Amino acid sequence: MNKIALFGDSTCDLTPELRKSRDIDYVRMLVNWKDKDKKDHEIYASLDWEVFSPKEYYDLMRNGAVIFTSQVTEQEFDEKFIPHLEKGEDILYISCSSALSQSGNLAVRLAKDKYAQKYPKSKIIVVDSLCSCMGQGSMLLRAADLRDAGKTIEDIAKEIEETRLCYNQIATVEDLSTLAKHGRVKAGKAFFGNIFGVKPLIISDGKGNNYAVEKAKGRRNALVRAAEIVKERVIKPGTQICYVSHADAKQEDVDLVVSKIKEIGFKEVVVGNLGPIISASCGPATFGIYYFGKPETRVGE
């Protein structure tokens, strides 16, 4: 059995430490924006935060930069995948939701049209996470567990695919202006109404779209409601880690969310940064909470 190389991408939000200790790598997407002098900038959407610290990156948005994102390039796939293929390894890539990024689809195409001929002994399997951030990250951690337990690449892919809708997300943004600019969240007609004071509660739906299922009035109400939703949907909290990711939210808000989430009885609550791709379309101070729960089968309009 070939060694299995595990890949995520820029939306999986795994820290350098976690990636190193669990032997998980990632392919990078890109972010670009115009500065005040209309000059274009483009950098890799790095989870190592070597160009900007998370705070600097979110402040860039706070100061008015509209950040656009682009999918993983063919060149990036070549650079990251080929060394493993050369060594005769298999590759399991758990990609950002296909509803949000075409990176996974590009990988499927490259595997079939390019890598398969050259490396016929290696298997490349792409699993569409239908999710992002620590939802996708948690799937990668689970895949690492299975790999380390000696499961085949097919078995790992099968389990992730069968359980991916259980990797739940509940997210909320501080103000709707970034969402409005990017149009990345689905919502029923007139859902947002006047955007003032209204906070959407956003799931990753059955097709991997970000979908505003509810709204709350006021930030605190939204955060409390998000925790309530976790409580309603979680399965066996005592056996799992809940990931709370945010894009430089106020400390008092983080404390509120963490205290509410802790009341649910998770084995552990881990607070981290919301990655550069998703935060670009949700805006600073966005919260995302990730946990294993009931399968999310709702689909946005």
Partner 1 sequence: MILHKLNGEQFKELVINGAKNLRLNIEEVDALNVFPVPDGDTGTNMSRTIEGGISAVSGKEEKNLGLLGKDLSKGMLMGARGNSGVILSQIFRGICRGFEGKEEVNAVELAKAYQVGIKQAYGAVVTPVEGTILTVFREATEAASKAVNEESTINEFYEAHLKQASISLKKTIDLLPVLKEAGVIDSGGAGYVYIVKGMVKFLDGEKIEQELSSVEEEHKEAAPIDFSAFGADDVLQFGYCTEFILRLQNSKVNVEDFDVQTIIDELNEEDISGDSIVALKDGDVVKVHVHTKEPGLVLHKMRKYGEFLTTKIENMALQHNENLTEEEHTAKKMEHKKYAVVAVAQGAGVEEQFKAFGVDVIVSGNQTMNPSTEDFIRAFKQIDADNIIVFPNNKNIVMAAKQAAQLYKGAKVKIAQSTSIPQCYSALTMLDFSSDDLTLIMGNFNEAIRNVVTVEITTAIRSTKVHGVIIHKNDHMGIVNGKIVFSGRMKNRIIFDVLRKIKDIKDKQVVTIIYGKDVTEEEKAKNMEVLRNKFPYLEFGAIDGGQSVYKYLIAVE
User: In angstroms, what CA-CA distances link 171 with 61, 183, 222?
Assistant: 19, 16, 9
Q: Which residues contact 185 (CB under 8 A, 6 or more apart)?
A: 179, 200, 202, 210, 211, 212, 282
- Residue 161 or 175: the one with the smaller Cβ distance to partner 1 is 175
- Residue 183 or 196: the one with the smaller Cβ distance to partner 1 is 196
End-to-end distance of the chain based on CA atoms, in angstroms? 44
**Chosen residue from 75, 117, 194, 239 binding partner 1 by CB under 8 A:** 194
**Chosen residue from 215, 225, 246, 260 binding partner 1 by CB under 8 A:** 215
Least Å from the CB of residue 147 to partner 1? 41
- Residue 176 structure tokens: 């709707």
- Residue 19 or 215: the one with the smaller Cβ distance to partner 1 is 215
Determine the Cα–Cα distance for residues 80 and 6; give it in Å rounded to an integer. Answer: 11
Least Å from the CB of residue 123 to partner 1? 42
- Pairing relationship of beta strands 4-9 and 24-27 according to DSSP bridges: parallel
Q: Which of 32, 34, 62 is nearest to 286 (CA)?
A: 62
Determine the Cα–Cα distance for residues 9 and 164; give it in Å rounded to an integer. Answer: 16
Window of 41-49, 93-101, 178-186, 196-204 that interacts with partner 1 by CB under 8 A: 196-204
**Chosen residue from 28, 84, 184, 219 binding partner 1 by CB under 8 A:** 219
The CB density around residue 258, as the number of other CB atoms within 10 Å, is 16
User: In angstroms, what CA-CA distances link 140 with 106, 123, 129, 157?
Assistant: 19, 18, 9, 10
- Residue 194 or 239: the one with the smaller Cβ distance to partner 1 is 194
Least Å from the CB of residue 54 to partner 1? 24
Interaction residues for partner 1, span 154-193 (CB under 8 A): 188, 190-191, 193
Binding of partner 1 by 221 (CB under 8 A): yes
Binding of partner 1 by 218 (CB under 8 A): yes
Q: Which residues contact 62 (CB under 8 A, 6 or more apart)?
A: 284
Binding of partner 1 by 198 (CB under 8 A): yes
User: In angstroms, what CA-CA distances link 59 with 10, 65, 175, 184, 235?
Assistant: 20, 9, 15, 21, 36
Binding of partner 1 by 196 (CB under 8 A): yes
Binding of partner 1 by 220 (CB under 8 A): yes
Least Å from the CB of residue 92 to partner 1? 37
# of chain residues touching partner 1 (CB under 8 A): 17
Q: Which of 281, 216, 291, 226 is nearest to 257 (CA)?
A: 226
- Residue 159 or 214: the one with the smaller Cβ distance to partner 1 is 214
- Residue 193 or 238: the one with the smaller Cβ distance to partner 1 is 193
Q: What's the CA dihedral at 207, 210, 214, 219 to 10 degrees?
A: 160
- Residue 113 or 252: the one with the smaller Cβ distance to partner 1 is 252
Binding of partner 1 by 206 (CB under 8 A): no
Where do contacts with partner 1 occur on this chain (CB under 8 A)? 188, 190-191, 193-194, 196-198, 213-215, 217-221, 301
